Structure 1
Amino acid sequence: MKQQSLLARLASGSLVLQILVGIIAGVLLATTAPEAALQVEFLGGLFVGALKAIAPVLVFILVAASIANQKKNAHTQMRPIVMLYLVGTFAAALTAVVMSFLFPTELVLASGAEGATPPQGIAEVLSTLLFQLVDNPVNALMTGNYIGILAWGVGLGIALHHANDTTKMVFSDMSHSVSQMVRFIIRLAPLGIFGLVSGTIAKTGFSALAGYAHLLAVLLGAMAIIALVVNPLIVYVKIRRNPYPLVFQCLRESGVTAFFTRSSAANIPVNMALCEKMKLHEDTYSVSIPLGATINMGGAAITITILTLAAVHTMGIQVDIFTALLLSIVAAVSACGASGVAGGSLLLIPLACSLFGISNDVAMQVVAVGFIIGVIQDAAETALNSSTDVVFTAAACEAAERAEAKANA
């Protein structure tokens, strides 16, 4: 009985507090016993693996079930959410340009990314996105292609909308069952993050980051400005009230987990659970969250822009305001095609560097620098991207509810 009571208390306790304990324990273990820390790293791998495994099934079932059971004349808020995603990503690229001009960075170029194959142009990035739409549904589920999963989920949901109530109920029950599995996996986050922190610090430490401290400071500064200034401003314009309680809740309950998993795709179940906790419309967030993991990439736009302009400053190339604006557009569009996995934005840097005539050899050395600082850069980028998905979804839902209440008054 005592053991059950302890498990019940752990299950109902504050997840954020438990994650904080896991982070501290991981740091302590990695600094005092690095070999033991490497032994528990598998806990992190299991946690991230479980999230990545459940996420495609969750998205497919939830999207199909929510559309199939959608009541007539019910309105989702996808159009304003997509607009917020696009505005937020472009604002992130512009902020990165401003930060790069205020604090220009020169790089000590590295090597080690020669084997990677970056896209050759924006047309290739957009073409890849379009072909992901028509991917085989089984392959989309197996590879975590969320554009394809969304397309097939929406198509199946529309078809099932005209099915009999029993069939719709089966899909509804399946969505609730998968959601229950997600809740169980998320409760394991403290153990998973303990393993991730222990292994990462034990293997890399932070000595490799010291030589790129200035670059990291500019990157993290730009991301902090987006998270704490620009996004709240966009949300305030949308909901006309203090945006910070919403922003801080999303950073705390979505951003922290995303920081350590370093994968927008793996954080989809976490974000959906948070949306459910915030009582947002399931018809809306079941589509907006996986879509945001694919196209809402403000952090990626910052990474692409700042590392590209660092290469430009290193090569001594002069940049005028119009070229910088063009870079912002290219970075924003490219970021929408960035993969939702760790390091997905880095291979888009050569594409942006080509605007300034920088050779692919030099650009790939910049990519290698990105991989060196990736322990921090990619973690912060994912935390910003993933938490913003929930921020903008919640803001659009609240604005719609307020407008509806005003219309009915």
Structure 2
Amino acid sequence: MDQASMKPSPKGVWSRLALWKKILVGMILGVIAGSLMGPDAELLKPIGTLFVNAIKMLIVPLVFCSLVVGVTSMQDTRKMGRIGAKSIVIYLGTTAVAISVGLGLSHILAPGAGLGMTASAAAADAKEAPTLVQTILSLIPNNPISALAAGNILQIIVFALGLGVALNLCGEKGKPAVQVFESLAEAMYKLTELVMKLAPYGIFGLMAWVAGKYGLEILLPLFKVIGVAYLGSVILVLLFYPAVIQVVGRLNPVPYIKGIMTPAAVAFTTTSSSGTLPASIKCAREDLGVSKGVSSFVLPLGATINMDGTALYQGVAALFVAQAFGIQLEFADYVTIVMTATLASIGTAGVPGAGLIMLSLVLTTVGLPMEGLAIIAGIDRILDMARTTVNVCGDLMVSVLVGRSEGELDESIYYRAEGENLKVKEETA
């Protein structure tokens, strides 16, 4: 046998690559293609659009079936309430930390200083965020079928929770329906696996379009604010989340960091927490060892109410606008920004353009020019990549913590990639 025949073919090498590595290759090739093609890279956008549409196709049935299965797997309704309470408390706490990180970095690095922004820019139109009362009233769908068709995630979650509890209370009579939802959930997981095989190609198209549209000519004037936002994102994902897992969860964070690679890459390129949900659920179950019940409950909830990355973005953007317009903020303004963004994260998470909506709330609350929205909107897509990645990584961190606290984290799966050495080191530390 000659030496040439022993070399693996490119196709064979590609098939053996891990999914996140394929996605990384797609991202890099997309950036190169977009940089070379410029505006003509718009021609490649349909490839990414097809992938995003396929992901969106999964969201409603996956969330609905996963939640019903998650609730019915918890025969103890008190346990469900306990898990929900834990998740919400952790989500709100990490959101407050995230916006504090954004404010702190922006105060130190001053991304808006010297940019010479003026109020002459046209203000972006922002959709009005719902009030607390409106949010509460809109939780119950008038027609659950309409909620499913419209993709109203909050209403879908409420209906799925109610249906799951009702099926549990039905006892034996509810078991046939539970089996149907379990079969549908498994079918959605398999469909997710098939769709995810298209991720490298779809992400290539998306990144080519982004690189072609947002070239250096657009990024350079605002490079500093982008850098601050990305630095804050790295601090949260690689320092804060692992520290919480190690201190609170008493787990070695290295498997967590390695396990989140694929959903993080999907989140970065699709800029959709809900769109990344299929990859997040797959990761939590197969790579991090979180049980089906916990992952099916915590992750859809997090995709709806957890806004760590968006909160970080609020802190950076608010101070950037203040510095760009030469407005001095007091300590009380900083506290107000933290409280507003944290509480608004639940009410606006399910609204299209949630990042800009939350920013409009923050700017209005502390009296900053609304023209700042137009400035930030120009680079919103670039910032959205980072904040969505943080949102998704935060969701997965909470799923690990809740699974660990409930005794529903399979450590043999969690430590599988690293072997037992990490677990031994963690237990002896």
TM-score of the superposed pair, with normalisation by structure 2: 0.83
- What whole-Å deviation, never above 9, does each CA across 1:95-137 have from its counterpart, x for those lacking one? 1221222122245257354433343xxxx44234323311332
Which residue of the partner structure matches residue 271 of structure 2?
262
* Residue type at the aligned position of 1:16: W
In the other structure, the counterpart of 1:369 is 375
What amino acid sits opposite 1:331 in the alignment? A
Q: Are residues 260 and 113 of structure 1, via their aligned partners in 2, closer, same or farther at CA, if it must alter by over 3 Å?
A: farther
Question: Structure 2: how far apart are the matches of 1:49 and 1:7?
Answer: 27
CA-CA distance at 1:93 after TM superposition: 1.3
Work out whether 1:21 is the aligned partner of 2:18.
no
One-letter code of the match for 1:37?
A
CA distance in 2, matches of 1:338, 1:118: 10
Equivalent residue, structure 1, for 2:229: 219
Q: Distance in 2 between matches of 1:173 and 1:7?
A: 34
Provide the C-alpha distance between the structure 1 equivalents of 2:402 and 2:40, rounded to a whole number of angstroms. 46
Task: Quote the residue 1:137 is aligned against.
Answer: 144
Residue 385 (structure 1) aligned to one of 388, 391, 395: 391
1:265 alignment partner, SS class: helix
Q: How far, CA to CA, are the matches of 1:71 and 1:348 in structure 2?
A: 37
In structure 2, do the counterparts of structure 1 residues 194 and 238 end up closer, same or farther at CA, with 3 Å as the change threshold?
Answer: same
Structure 2 contact 30–207 (Cα < 8 Å) conserved: yes
Farther-moved stretch of structure 1 (300-309 vs 233-242) = 233-242
Match of 2:165 among 142, 158, 162: 158
2:425 corresponds in structure 1 to none
Instruction: Identify the residue that residue 173 of structure 1 maps to in structure 2.
Output: 183
Aligned to 2:34: 30
Change (3 A) 1:65 1:403: closer
Residue in 2 that maps onto 1:62: 66
1:253 aligns with 2:259: no
Amino acid at match of 1:28: I
Cα drift, residue 286 of structure 1: 1.0
Stretch deviating more after TM superposition (216-225 or 239-248)? 239-248
Aligned residues: 392
Could you say what secondary structure the match of 1:134 adopts? coil
Structure 1 stretch 372-381 or stretch 314-323: which is displaced more?
314-323
Q: Tell me which amino acid in the other structure corresponds to 1:210.
A: L
Quote the Cα distance in structure 1 between the aligned partners of 2:376 and 2:39.
Answer: 27
1:313-341 per-position Cα deviation (integer Å, ceiling 9, x unaligned): 33443333233122211111123333357
Instruction: Show CA shifts across 1:66-117 (max 9, x none).
Output: 3234445894533322222111100011112212221222452573544333
Unaligned stretches of 5+ residues in structure 2:
1-8, 412-429
Amino acid at match of 1:395: L
**TM-superposed deviation, 1:36:** 6.3
Q: CA deviation at 1:269?
A: 0.9
1:276 to 2:285 alignment: yes
How far did 1:242 drift? 2.9
Q: State yes or no: 1:49 paired with 2:53.
A: yes
CA deviation string 1:48-71 (max 9, x = no partner):
111112111111112113323444
C-alpha distance in 1 between matches for 2:103 and 2:30: 36
Q: How does 1:120-131 map to 2 (within 5 A)?
A: 124-131=130-137
Q: Which amino acid aligns with 1:140?
A: A
Is the 8 Å Cα contact of residues 273 and 392 (structure 2) preserved in structure 1? Answer: yes
Where structure 1 has 5 or more consecutive residues not aligned to the other structure, the ranges are none
Conserved in 1, the CA contact under 8 Å of 2:48 and 2:202? yes
Q: Does 1:201 align with 2:208?
A: no
2:305 corresponds to 1:295? yes
1:347 aligns with 2:347: no
2:422 aligns with none
Conserved in 1, the CA contact under 8 Å of 2:284 and 2:295? yes
Report the CA distance shift for 1:23/1:332 in structure 2 as closer, same or farther (over 3 A).
same
CA 1:166–1:6: 2 relative to 1, 3 Å: farther
Cα RMSD of the aligned pairs, angstroms, is: 2.8
Distance 2:177 2:11 in 1: 36
Checking the alignment, whether the CA contact within 8 Å between 1:295 and 1:335 is kept in structure 2 is yes
Q: Which amino acid aligns with 1:297?
A: M
Q: Which amino acid aligns with 2:97?
A: A
| AA matched with 2:61 | V
**Distance (whole Å) between structure 1 residues aligned to residue 174 and residue 102 of structure 2:** 52
- What is the deviation of 1:160? 1.7
Query: How far apart, CA to CA, are the structure 1 residues paired with 2:199 and 2:126?
Result: 32
Aligned counterpart, 2:424: none
Displacement of 1:388:
1.2
TM norm structure 1: 0.87
The amino acid across from 2:308 in the alignment is G
Q: Aligned pair in 2 of structure 1 residues 125, 210: CA closer, same or farther (>3 Å)?
A: farther
SS of match in other structure, 1:267? helix
Name the amino acid aligned to 1:267. T
Q: How far is the alpha carbon of 1:38 from its aligned partner?
A: 2.7
